[in-house]
Amino acid sequence: MSLQPLLFDVESFQETTNTIPYLIPTEGIKYAGSKLKLIPTILELIRPLEIKTVLDGFAGTTRVSQALARSGYQVHSNDVSKWSSTFASCYLEAQAPLSYYQEHIDALNQSAPIYGWYSEHYGCLPEDLHLHKRPWQLKNTMRLDAIRQEIDRLQLNKTDENVLVTSLINALDVVDNTMGHYASYLREWSTRSYNDLHLKVPNIVRSQEKHFVTNQSIFDAIQGQSYDLAYLDPPYGSNNEKMPPSRIRYASYYHVYKTICLNDKPELFGKVNRRIDSKDTLSYSPFEDFRKDEAGRFIAVNAIAQLIQNVQARYVLLSYSSGGRATAEELENVLHENGTILNILKINYKQNVMAGMQWTKDWIRDSEKPHQEFLFLLEKK
């Protein structure tokens, strides 16, 4: 039986479910498009469904993956970005006792600072920020140099190494001098950048299920897999024709995290010292494409359509922002072509509006306003 499609505002939805939105502990860096605030809603929305296996196809911070794993689902966490699969491996796969990680992290916190490759390219003395803008103070990049070198020297298995690298990136995130990404750095030191880098043991999920982590483009990751539910949170892109694609791309926003994961000291370019493979021409995602194809359709919309069609899942939960590439009408068609829309939620963190939005078409009117976020629950044909 299919449900009558309804459009709810998230806050009202949480009230009408008669359950207190529960807080599942998750950890993660500051990240463009992080769904931290949506986690209780996502969990409420999928709770009535009979599902066990869930794909988090664009996992980013992996906060949604962590919450799903903590809620008893078996999770496949995938993202094309290296840092995301490093986090997922840490939070979903690490098996060693916490005391084992604590011992290593205590030792890393004691490492003597050294001036190395990271300090050269990403650190500077507090008084030198006017010479070149940098994401961290030198005292902290000198710790980064020492700690990253020590992690390699330890030669742990890959998962345990990922735990230490995640701990290092989490620690760097709270002493950074950025607006939440590394495509530009602040002119004046942020207050937090004066703090000392301090690593903590990540809050690893311990669950009965064996989870699965991949670091692939989504179309490769879903090959030969099937799920009860696929949660899809592709990059938003931008409707602004004038915005160059490099400004909205994850590879360029978080380039330095890839370097810390790989510790490969890559060739760098540009004012913010981006790794060379973060160039638009070298790391391409159709979901971040701002252009139209020959038929006049946005390439990003085509990618979403192709993905919804190809993913082997009974249910699809799609996150979508009205600032994104997909136009509302086009997306509506894609969803209808592929199944039955069970629910549409409009995320409204500030106002509490629900009135008059009873039918699916109403979301299209609403999506004309910028920065509206929606969740679509689709039962596939």
Ligand X SMILES: C[S@@+](CC[C@H](N)C(=O)[O-])C[C@H]1O[C@@H](n2cnc3c(N)ncnc32)[C@H](O)[C@@H]1O
Stretch that binds ligand X, among 59-67, 119-127, 146-154, 273-281 (CB under 6 A): 59-67
Among residues 132, 107, 106, which one has the least CA distance to residue 119? 132
Among 13, 58, 118, 315, the residue binding ligand X under the rule CB under 6 A is: 58
The yes or no reply on residue 185 touching ligand X (CB under 6 A) is no
Least distance in angstroms from the C-beta of 17 to ligand X: 21
Work out which of 235, 259, 318, 366 binds ligand X, going by CB under 6 A.
235
Closest to ligand X by CB, 145 vs 233, is 233
Q: What does the buried/exposed string (b/e) look like for 67-104 if buried means 16 or more CB atoms within 10 Å of the residue's CB?
A: bbbbbebbbbbbbbbbbbbbbbbbbbbbeeeeeebeeb
Which of 61/141 has CB closer to ligand X?
61
Site membership for ligand X, residue 253 (CB under 6 A): no
C-alpha closest to that of 139 among 208, 212, 197, 200: 197
Q: Identify whether the C-beta of residue 146 lies closer than 8 Å to the C-beta of residue 111.
A: yes
66 binds ligand X (CB under 6 A): no
The pattern of x and - marking residues 276 through 315 that bind ligand X according to CB under 6 A reads ---------x-xx---------------------------
Say how far apart CA 263 and CA 149 lie, in whole Å.
8
180 binds ligand X (CB under 6 A): no
Would you call 235 exposed, middle or buried from its count of C-beta atoms within 10 A (0-12, 13-18, 19+)? buried
If binding is defined by CB under 6 A, does position 166 make contact with ligand X?
no
79 binds ligand X (CB under 6 A): yes
103, 104, 109, 113: CA torsion to nearest 10: 140
- Of residues 32 through 51, those in contact with ligand X by CB under 6 A are 33-35
- Scanning 15-23, 31-39, 87-95, 343-351 for contacts with ligand X by CB under 6 A, the matching segment is 31-39
Query: How far is it, in rounded angstroms, from Cα 155 to Cα 132?
Result: 35
The yes or no reply on residue 63 touching ligand X (CB under 6 A) is yes
How many C-beta atoms lie closer than 10 Å to residue 309's C-beta? 12
Which position among 160, 176, 233, 366 is part of the footprint of ligand X (CB under 6 A)? 233
Can you tell me which residue has the tokens 């496949």?
76
Q: What does the alpha-carbon distance between residue 186 and residue 176 come to, in Å, rounded to a whole number?
A: 9
- Taking CB under 6 A as the rule, does residue 84 contact ligand X? yes
Q: Which CB atom, from 84 or from 343, has the smaller least distance to ligand X?
A: 84
Determine if 80 is a binding residue for ligand X (CB under 6 A). Answer: yes
Residues in the site for ligand X, rule: CB under 6 A?
Answer: 31, 33-35, 58-61, 63-64, 79-81, 84, 217-218, 233-235, 250, 285, 287-288
